[in-house]
Amino acid sequence: MITITKLLIDRNRAAKARKARVYPSIKDPGTVQSLSVLPLIDFFTKTPGAKTEPGVSYLVKAGDFTVLLDVGYNAKKEHPSPLLNNMKLFGISIRDIDALFISHHHLDHLGGTAEQRSHTFSLSHGPVDFPPIPVYSPLPLTPSSFNSNPASEVRVSTGPMQLAPGVYGTGSIPRALYIMGYTEEQALAINVEGKGLVLIIGCGHQTVQRVIERAQVLFNLPIYGIIGGLHFPVHGGRIMAGPINLQAIVGSDRMPWNYINEKDVHDAIHAIKESGARLVSLSAHDSSDWAIGQFKDAFGPHYRELFVGETITV
């Protein structure tokens, strides 16, 4: 009963915050000549030696600017973590990264349960030579003791923020979630010359409809692609407690018995089609095989499967 009461309070708070966040259009966002997204952490892979888990970390190369979106889950508190294992496997150095972009403060994006509780992030549960790069976060955040450079500047990006020419954070969009509570989540918006915006999303708790709406208001540009997590664990989830689909319960601002459902998936597909996106790729870390199948059927040749170690090039 207390949790449901808190959900209602958080839901009201989130609705007020969304209504209050009105931002002017960005007149000259700049462009990048090229864009690639390399999933370093996600649920599926075809690459021998690559580790997978129900978490997210993507290496995003936007022209000459490289940003790491989220740092995975590391549920077993390993060192080296699945993220570091995969970075080494794919020849990626932490020193190659210009910025870290945290989509939201959940365990599967910050590096673990302890990180979520203490509002920190870690790339591994052991010493990491983390460079002094900017860290963009929708809420205050501190590097964990495992990161050797605690002086990295954390920039709280509640509103839209430029990371580099043509590369923006959308600003966070709040939503109340059952059990998980009040959640602020932001996405990357990258303007690829001659194509338009590519939106790269961590979990999609804010809903893809709201991400699209925010991007259209900010940039007045066509949306070319949507890549990442949208949280549709319908007819199965990646984190189960026996027969209970935990991801379905905690991923909605509705009452716990009113799970994320087929209609939610079809409404999102409709919104993406209405946006005119020409490239769609859905993360399996928080979406079921059934949901992925619906997206494949809906977008046909415009759909790209998302696997750890396979680069999506725009």
pLDDT in tens, 184-204: 999 999 999 999 999 999 999
* CA 130, chain centre distance (Å): 21
pLDDT of 146 higher than 80: no
> What mean pLDDT do residues 250-265 have?
90
Enter the tokens of residue 162: 């430029």
DSSP string covering the chain, please? Answer: -HHHHHHHHHHHHHHHHHHH------S----BS-EEEEEEE-S-B-STT----S--EEEEEETTEEEEE-----TT--SS-HHHHHHHHTT--GGG-SEEE---S-HHHHTSHHHHHHTEE-SSSS-B---S--EEESS--EE-TTBS-TTPPEEE-SS-EEEETTEEE---EEEEETTTEEEEE--EEEEETTTEEEEEESS-TT-HHHHHHHHHHHH---EEEEEE-----TT--SSEETTEEHHHHHT-SS-TTS---HHHHHHHHHHHHHHT-SEEEE-SSSS-HHHHHHHHHHHGGGB----BT--EE-
pLDDT of 145 higher than 70: no
pLDDT tens for each residue of 93-121? 999 999 999 999 999 999 999 999 999 99
**According to the model, what pLDDT value does residue 1 have?**
58
pLDDT tens for each residue of 70-83? 999 999 999 999 99
Query: ∠ CA 144-146-152 to the nearest 5 degrees?
Result: 55
**According to the model, what pLDDT value does residue 116 have?**
95
**According to the model, what pLDDT value does residue 246 have?**
86
**According to the model, what pLDDT value does residue 241 have?**
82
Query: How many C-beta neighbours within 10 Å does residue 307 have?
Result: 19
Query: How many C-beta neighbours within 10 Å does residue 57 have?
Result: 30
**According to the model, what pLDDT value does residue 132 have?**
87
> What mean pLDDT do residues 201-217 have?
98
**According to the model, what pLDDT value does residue 163 have?**
98
CB 134 within 8 Å of CB 105: no
- Which range, of 49-63, 125-139, 209-223, averages the lowest pLDDT? 125-139
Query: Is the model's pTM score more than 0.75?
Result: yes
pLDDT tens for each residue of 117-144? 999 999 999 989 888 899 999 999 987 7
Query: How many C-beta neighbours within 10 Å does residue 163 have?
Result: 22
**According to the model, what pLDDT value does residue 167 have?**
98
pLDDT of 256 higher than 60: yes
pLDDT of 148 higher than 60: no
pLDDT of 59 higher than 90: yes
- Exposure string of 122-155, with b = 16+ CB inside 10 Å and e = fewer, is bbbbeebebbebbbbbbbebbbbebbeeeebebe
Share of the chain above pLDDT 70, in %: 97
105-to-5, 72, 125, 186 alpha-carbon distances in Å: 22, 11, 18, 10
**According to the model, what pLDDT value does residue 151 have?**
56
Q: How far apart are the first and last CA of the chain?
A: 47
Q: Which domains does the chain have, with CATH numbers?
A: 2-313 (3.60.15.10)
Enter the tokens of residue 284: 């399996």
